[in-house]
A = this chain, B = another copy of it.
Amino acid sequence: MKTLIKNGTIVTAADTFRGDVLIDGETVAALGAGLQAPDARVLDARERMVIPGGIDVHTHLDMPFGGAFSTDDFQTGTIAAAFGGTTCIVDFAIQEAGGTLRRAFDTWQRKAAGKAVVDYGFHMILRAYSDAIGAEMAELVAQGVTSFKLFTAYPGVFYLDDGSIFRALGRARDIGALICVHAENGLVIAALVQEALARGDVAPRFHALTRPPLAEAEATRRVIRLAQLAGAPLYVVHLSAAEALDEVRAARAEGAQVMAETCPQYLFLSHENYEEPGFAGAKYVMSPPLRSAARQEELWRGLRNGELQAIATDHCPFNFASDKQLGREDFSKIPNGAPGIETRMSLTYDGGVAAGRFSVNRWVELTATAPARIFGLFPRKGTIAPGSDADIVIFNPGARTTISARTHHMNVDYNPYEGRTVTGVPETVLSRGEVIIENGRFLGKPGRGRYLKRAPQGAGEANPWKTVPQDASPRTR
């Protein structure tokens, strides 16, 4: 079965050209102008961009939280992703307290199986580090889970001390895994939260005030230092504060192997959202919190300059009318998280490309190519090239749409960008050559998404920090 996308403007991280994409089965067969394929289904891409499907490497679908779960499971979540132009996700499996990594891996495989409509991989969240866990990490790498997330935040839950982090970094270095870190100083934050509650400061905005930018900057710098000492690469998730970006930039200039992602919420929303009337501020309770608008432009600049490498979502939805209400009397009880898996591509096209902050190629790089490289999915995912999976979006850069919970496909009762009109709309979405979104309808089948075994660090081109010499026969898959 062949598909021919005709007359589009094909955009990759490097190139922009008018032409056609020929898909044969699940992969791209050829790129060219005036390609012929008599037996192919033809998709007209005139006045459209043809881009690699987005890759969201930070999602929390069906995530257990206090007896319940984040409101999108792998079915609703990946359908929403597909509507938004994202054709691949990497979700976070979570080690249970005292549990094995294998068990968590199996649990998340079950969560996704039969539901996911796009391809998916897993990171693994570690709640502790020990030699036994280190041994299991190697087994997980063999299963394609090549990245592990640690927290300096959430004492008593996910918090790891510096010694454990340092040992995990050393282990990751040895087995070709990448450590991802949520960098906020959780112990300081706990003290600030306790002080705030003692003062009676219980409203949502105190969530942000008790998680100051310096608490993120400090932890970011610290874990970078641990990574430098371990000789390991590091990936900082959801960098939110310009103060933390300053630390990343300084460390990169010294040669530290540190990469960082930011998320649309830190580019478009700000501290002021916590001031919305009533309890509405709870919609924006996430960690790290929204920051001052005054330094947002620095994040955009970091995306342009290459100091930030990726844009992900930290999609973790909770309903406002129910879940979020748990914290009405105490901000620290508000479930942390917000929806975003569906809006990432349009928001960042609008604010990045349409607003002139960076080129369309850089947009593709930030939302697809670089995440694929960093997390061992490239070149199977993240680009449009012969041999790559035909995860492709036909994107209308001239169309405008207004974001709303009334029309979105995520399973959550509010949208943090409610009412915002953006330029740039994903119209047709292909996953491994199959059209799954067309004319505003989802055409795929739950469970069609496949688990992706990701390559370890240093294999091929997965990591921009890679230092293994090329040989004459670089692998293409």
Partner of A305, one of B253, B361, B387, B460: B253
B253 & A229 in contact (Cβ 8 Å cutoff): no
A271 at the interface (CB under 8 A from B): no
A365 at the interface (CB under 8 A from B): yes
A386 & B226 in contact (Cβ 8 Å cutoff): no
A14 & B17 in contact (Cβ 8 Å cutoff): no
Partner of A379, one of B16, B161, B474: B16
Q: A31-B32, A188-B229, A252-B305 are in contact. List 6 more A-B contacts (CB 8 A).
A: A9-B474, A17-B386, A47-B472, A185-B225, A356-B469, A359-B464
CA distance A412 to B185 in the complex (A): 43
A468 at the interface (CB under 8 A from B): yes
B163 & A15 in contact (Cβ 8 Å cutoff): no
Q: Which chain B residues lie closer than 8 Å to A207 at the CB level?
A: none
Partner of A18, one of B14, B33, B387: B387
The chain B residue with its CB closest to the CB of A466 is B359
Kindly list the 9 A-B residue pairs having the minimum CB-CB distance in the complex, ordered from nearest: A30-B32, A163-B187, A356-B467, A14-B14, A13-B14, A306-B306, A218-B225, A398-B472, A19-B386
A sample of 12 cross-chain residue pairs with beta-carbon separation below 8 angstroms, ordered by A number, consists of A12-B14, A13-B13, A15-B379, A17-B385, A30-B30, A33-B387, A162-B187, A163-B188, A304-B464, A353-B470, A356-B468, A360-B470
Stretch at the interface among A209-217, A281-289, A437-445: A209-217
**Complex interface residues of chain A between 451 and 473 (CB less than 8 A to chain B):** 460-461, 464, 466-473
CA distance A212 to B49 in the complex (A): 43
A17 & B185 in contact (Cβ 8 Å cutoff): no
Contact (A218, B214) CB under 8 Å given A12-B15, A47-B473:
no
Partner of A355, one of B15, B185, B305, B469: B469
B476 & A9 in contact (Cβ 8 Å cutoff): yes
Q: Which chain B residues lie closer than 8 Å to A229 at the CB level?
A: 188, 192, 212, 214-215
A127 at the interface (CB under 8 A from B): no
CA distance A473 to B397 in the complex (A): 9
Q: How many residues of A contact B (CB 8 A)?
A: 88
Q: In the complex this chain forms, how many copies of it are found?
A: 4
CA distance A353 to B15 in the complex (A): 22
Please give the residue numbers on chain A whose beta carbons come within 8 Å of chain B beta carbons, in ascending order.
9-10, 12-19, 22, 29-35, 47-49, 155, 161-164, 166-167, 170, 185, 187-188, 190-192, 212, 214-215, 217-218, 221-222, 225-226, 228-229, 249, 252-253, 255, 301, 304-307, 353-357, 359-362, 365, 369, 379, 383, 385-388, 396-398, 460-461, 464, 466-474, 476
B252 & A228 in contact (Cβ 8 Å cutoff): no
Q: Which chain B residues lie closer than 8 Å to A301 at the CB level?
A: 255
Majority-rule SS of A interface residues: mixed
Q: For residue A303, give the distance in angstroms from its CB to the closest CB of chain B.
A: 12
CA distance A30 to B31 in the complex (A): 5
CA distance A187 to B164 in the complex (A): 8
CA distance A476 to B360 in the complex (A): 13
Q: For residue A202, give the distance in angstroms from its CB to the closest CB of chain B.
A: 20
Q: Which chain B residues lie closer than 8 Å to A32 at the CB level?
A: 22, 29-32, 386
Q: Which chain B residues lie closer than 8 Å to A14 at the CB level?
A: 12-15, 361, 365, 369, 383
Q: Which chain B residues lie closer than 8 Å to A461 at the CB level?
A: 16, 359-361
The chain B residue with its CB closest to the CB of A300 is B255
B252 & A353 in contact (Cβ 8 Å cutoff): no
